[in-house]
Amino acid sequence: MATFVLSLHTPASDTCTLQSLHRFAQAALQQGHHIASIFLYQDGVYHALNDFDIASDEFNPKVIWQRLFDLNIPVHVCVTAASKRGVVANDSSQFIVSGLAEFAMDVAQADRWVQFK
């Protein structure tokens, strides 16, 4: 079976892309594939913010992230993209702060890299 690395490049307001990533991850795992990691890059780093103010009748991206964390998929946040956008790393978060070097190593060891933009 194949090993995948996924990357998300869109902000939390783009709910369709996050839902597509989630559906892809679930389908891949159900077929016996492995998701090595998810990397939040560019505006995707906004997903790591803890202070979303979401109305009860709106889509909540935290629900999707918790489902992915429950699947034990490591989710990395690009430290450079985050700092450029004012996203501060939170030690209590399940998101892992890392750089492009870690991302490149994951991609080099994977069979496929799938971008969600």
Q: Where in the sequence numbering do the catalytic residues fall?
A: 78
Chain centre distance of CA 34: 15
Helices assigned H by DSSP within 3-116: 15-30, 61-70, 79-84, 100-109
Q: CB burial class (10 A; 0-12, 13-18, 19+) of residue 33?
A: middle
